[in-house]
Structure 1
Amino acid sequence: MANIIILGAGIGGMSAAYEIRDAIGKEHAITVVGDGPVFNFTPSNPWLAVGWRKPDEIRLNVTEPLESRNIRFVPTRANKVVAEANRLDLVDGSSLNYDYLVITTGPRLAFERVPGSGPEGFTQSVCTGPHAEKAWLSYEEFLKKPGPVVVGALQGASCFGPAYEFAMILDTDLRRRKLRDRVPMTFVTSEPYIGHMGLGGIGDSKGLLESEMRQRHIKWISNARVTSVEQGKINAEQLDEQSAVLKTHELPFSYSMFIPPFAGVDAVQGIEGLTNPGGFILIDEHQCNPTFPNIFAAGVCVAIPPVEVTPVPTGAPKTGLMIESMVTAIANNLRDVLAGKPMKARATWNAMCLADMGDSGFAFIALPQIPPRNVTKAMSGKWVHLAKVAYEKYFLRKMRKGKADPIYETYVMKAFGIDRLKLEENID
């Protein structure tokens, strides 16, 4: 019997637990290690931050659903992966031994790289449930005395969709409250242009998003490097194509939200052969670490180089479709390894994004993620908003029942109406 540990209990970790259990059967042990027993549906955090969701509506205790599938859950944060000893040390001083380790931790949010940023500073975040709750409390105070708003993504961020989502959800909410005319809005991003998304653009994402932001009276500054945040003021430099400072900006704000730089989590930092200098997990084509072949990884914690060099550093995003594809490859490869067969499953690494805009939405598909591509689509409409709401309800319902249907099936088959087989074969 093999002992498999999954480190991380977010969307990637929970999907991995269920898919691996289905792939390898009941005779092997699976343990999920998470920082507390509560699963938070991260895609709903922008709604939570403006009061459109209550915390209990997007959260659930994962212990019972996991145990119903004969999966042990340990609600204790990891302290260190001791890869050479096949051991995971936890912060409470205990340890867990493993035969195979699957890392799905997501990133560490590196707010410290921009002084004054983050929930401990002067800006809000929607990257975690607690951050989104704090953002809502701050927003409630802001509504009593509206003023300028600055939203965006800091240099080193590798997830831009939530920044666009939050700016436009905020715009929608303020219009509904009849307060929008009192709130100048500016979008500040490290992307070289609006709609780059860390992917070099997808179809006409630039034109689509610029048009939407003009329609909503949201000004923007791209190629921006935020140098510091003070109480009520964003200090930023706008660079040219040669990375020289083109212009400096001092942006006043009464409310601000930024996506931070991402880094690898502390539990894997500094392990030679396991991570790159940023702490992201190195993997081969089978999602397996070359130095420690019994360690797999999926999701935002995986080391993926930027799609292209940009004047201000931007990371490549890992969308739900890509994460689920990684998880499926790991499940199939573990099944084969445990049966004494060579690994052959590979993730497709296609990119897809459904982003809510409050009263409508935009959707992107990039097959493959890195251009040139076989399929490129950029779309918008109210149907995207409705699809994301349906996805939220569908996924949480499945999670409560001890299931996690593949994310790509939900996104693609229910939202886009594209046949999964055609998608996997890169056929438009």
Structure 2
Amino acid sequence: MAHIVIIGAGIGGMPAAYETRELLGREHRITVVSATDSFQFTPSNPWVAVGWRERTVVTMPIAPPLARKGIGFIAKAVTAIDAEANRLTLDGGESLDYDYLIITTGPKLGFDEVPGAGPNGGHTHSVCTVQHAEQFWADYQEFLKDPGPIVIGAMPGASCFGPAYEFTFIVDADLRKRKLRHRVPITFVTSEPYIGHMGLGGVGDSKSMLESELRGHDVKWVTNAKTTRVEEGKLFVSELDDLGQPRREHEIGFKLSMMLPAFKGVDPVAAVPGLCNPRGFVLIDEFQRSKAYRNIFSAGVCVAIPPVEVTPVATGAPKTGYMIETMVSAIAHNIADELAGRPATAKGTWNAICLADMGDTGAAFVALPQIPPRNVNWFKKGKWVHVAKVAYEKYFLSKMRSGNSEPIYEKYILKTLGVVRLVDK
């Protein structure tokens, strides 16, 4: 009998638990360990931040659906990993042994890398967690009584740019509905070298399309933006040229700000000798296995993926839902194969597929593979994307509540976009 332990119960961890349970006999134990006792659907956080969703709609208790599938759950933080002894130390001193470890922790948010940044003691907000989104919503309600400038964007080293674009257009749409948009100048500040880069070197016509959308929504922008510090009501930015040299200094005033931070690996994972790169992301091979420890696998935002290209201000490569889904599936199949005496052969994909809401419309992009040159390089906009994003939210939450491991991207989104047929050609 093997004991498989999964650290993290998010968009990677919960599907990993369900699919591993589906593939393994009941003689094998599966335990999920999470610092929180509720699952949150992170892509909905921009909606929570403007009051379009409530926490109860986009979160759910973790323990009940896991229990129905015969999966154990421990609601405690992991404080240390002894990879040589195959043992975790949990908050409070309890230890937990494993035969296989799956790391799906997500990132540590690097607010500390920019003085004055972050929602806890700093001067900027975030939509990286539902708690952060609720903090923005609380301040936003006060802001609406006496509006002013808003700054939205991404800090140096950020890798998840989609939510910054989403949030810009969602805030714009919300303010227009309230007839307040004329009182709120919006500035988009990003470490990307150009609008629409998104950590991917651009996808299709993303640069011109997103520039056009920002102009059409009266949003100004600063690219190659190295945010150096934040003070109350002020964002200090060095705008670099293509050679990485300072071109212009900006002091951008704001009454409310949402700036996505750079990501790092969480502390107990980053502390394991030989497991991670200097940023704390897990180094894996093509089978999602640690390069240092054969019984440790990892998926999601916490794995190390090199940037698509060197940029004047540091940017990282995003990990989209489709990518995470395939990583998780590969891990489940590889562990099942090893336990059956077969070699690991399943591989995740580094293809990028994303649905980005824009308030009452949306943008979808497909990059196959993520790193250019690509077989598919596609970017489209339309109201159907907004509808698809809402449907995806409802379906994914339903899937988590029921314990369904069905791969939504393969079955629905790829076919909806017509990519399967395009790739087959």
TM-score, scaled relative to structure 2: 0.98
Alignment of 1:386-397 (within 5 A): 386-397=387-398
1:166 aligns with 2:189: no
AA aligned to 1:23 is L
1:403: which partner in 2?
404
SS at match of 2:242: coil
SS at match of 1:84: coil
Equivalent-residue separation in structure 1 for 2:228 and 2:305 (angstroms): 26
AA aligned to 2:312 is P
Alignment of 1:358-373 (within 5 A): 358-373=359-374
1:53: which partner in 2?
53
1:97 aligns with 2:97: yes
SS at match of 1:300: helix
- Report the alpha carbon displacement of residue 272 of structure 1 after superposing the two structures with TM: 2.1
User: Which range moves more in the overlay, 267-276 or 186-195?
Assistant: 267-276
Q: In the alignment, is the contact (CA less than 8 A) between 2:15 and 2:400 conserved in 1?
A: no
AA aligned to 1:83 is A
Equivalent-residue separation in structure 2 for 1:206 and 1:74 (angstroms): 45
- Report the alpha carbon displacement of residue 409 of structure 1 after superposing the two structures with TM: 3.1
AA aligned to 1:200 is G
- Report the alpha carbon displacement of residue 417 of structure 1 after superposing the two structures with TM: 4.6
SS at match of 2:279: coil
- Report the alpha carbon displacement of residue 405 of structure 1 after superposing the two structures with TM: 2.6
Q: In the alignment, is the contact (CA less than 8 A) between 1:111 and 1:261 conserved in 2?
A: yes
2:40: which partner in 1?
40
- Report the alpha carbon displacement of residue 62 of structure 1 after superposing the two structures with TM: 1.3
1:21: which partner in 2?
21
AA aligned to 1:215 is G
- Report the alpha carbon displacement of residue 208 of structure 1 after superposing the two structures with TM: 1.0
SS at match of 1:150: strand
Equivalent-residue separation in structure 1 for 2:352 and 2:259 (angstroms): 23
Equivalent-residue separation in structure 1 for 2:417 and 2:31 (angstroms): 34
SS at match of 2:152: strand
SS at match of 1:21: helix
Alignment of 1:287-302 (within 5 A): 287-302=288-303
1:305: which partner in 2?
306
Equivalent-residue separation in structure 1 for 2:41 and 2:333 (angstroms): 25
Equivalent-residue separation in structure 1 for 2:169 and 2:411 (angstroms): 24
2:254: which partner in 1?
253
Q: In the alignment, is the contact (CA less than 8 A) between 1:395 and 1:405 conserved in 2?
A: no
User: Which range moves more in the overlay, 262-271 or 153-162?
Assistant: 262-271
1:215: which partner in 2?
216
> 1:284-317: per-residue Cα shift (whole Å, max 9, x none)?
0100012100000000000011000000000000
SS at match of 2:226: strand
User: Which range moves more in the overlay, 2-11 or 266-275?
Assistant: 266-275
> 1:59-90: per-residue Cα shift (whole Å, max 9, x none)?
10010100100000111111111111101111
SS at match of 1:355: strand
SS at match of 2:221: strand
2:187: which partner in 1?
186
SS at match of 1:11: coil
Uncovered stretches (5+) of structure 2, i.e. residues with no partner = none
AA aligned to 2:349 is T
Equivalent-residue separation in structure 1 for 2:154 and 2:415 (angstroms): 30
- Report the alpha carbon displacement of residue 416 of structure 1 after superposing the two structures with TM: 2.3
Equivalent-residue separation in structure 2 for 1:383 and 1:215 (angstroms): 19
1:136: which partner in 2?
137
AA aligned to 1:119 is P
Equivalent-residue separation in structure 2 for 1:417 and 1:391 (angstroms): 17
1:110: which partner in 2?
110
User: Which range moves more in the overlay, 402-411 or 342-351?
Assistant: 402-411
Q: In the alignment, is the contact (CA less than 8 A) between 2:175 and 2:181 conserved in 1?
A: yes
- Cα distance change, pair 211–242 in 1 and its aligned pair in 2 (3 A): same
1:350: which partner in 2?
351
- Report the alpha carbon displacement of residue 427 of structure 1 after superposing the two structures with TM: 3.7
SS at match of 2:326: helix
1:330 aligns with 2:331: yes
User: Which range moves more in the overlay, 247-256 or 15-24?
Assistant: 15-24
- Report the alpha carbon displacement of residue 22 of structure 1 after superposing the two structures with TM: 1.1
Equivalent-residue separation in structure 1 for 2:318 and 2:384 (angstroms): 23
- Cα distance change, pair 411–232 in 1 and its aligned pair in 2 (3 A): farther
Q: In the alignment, is the contact (CA less than 8 A) between 2:105 and 2:302 conserved in 1?
A: yes
- Report the alpha carbon displacement of residue 418 of structure 1 after superposing the two structures with TM: 4.1
Q: In the alignment, is the contact (CA less than 8 A) between 1:274 and 1:282 conserved in 2?
A: yes
TM-score, scaled relative to structure 1: 0.97
User: Which range moves more in the overlay, 409-418 or 308-317?
Assistant: 409-418
SS at match of 1:323: helix
Equivalent-residue separation in structure 1 for 2:271 and 2:77 (angstroms): 18
- Cα distance change, pair 410–39 in 1 and its aligned pair in 2 (3 A): farther
1:242 aligns with 2:233: no
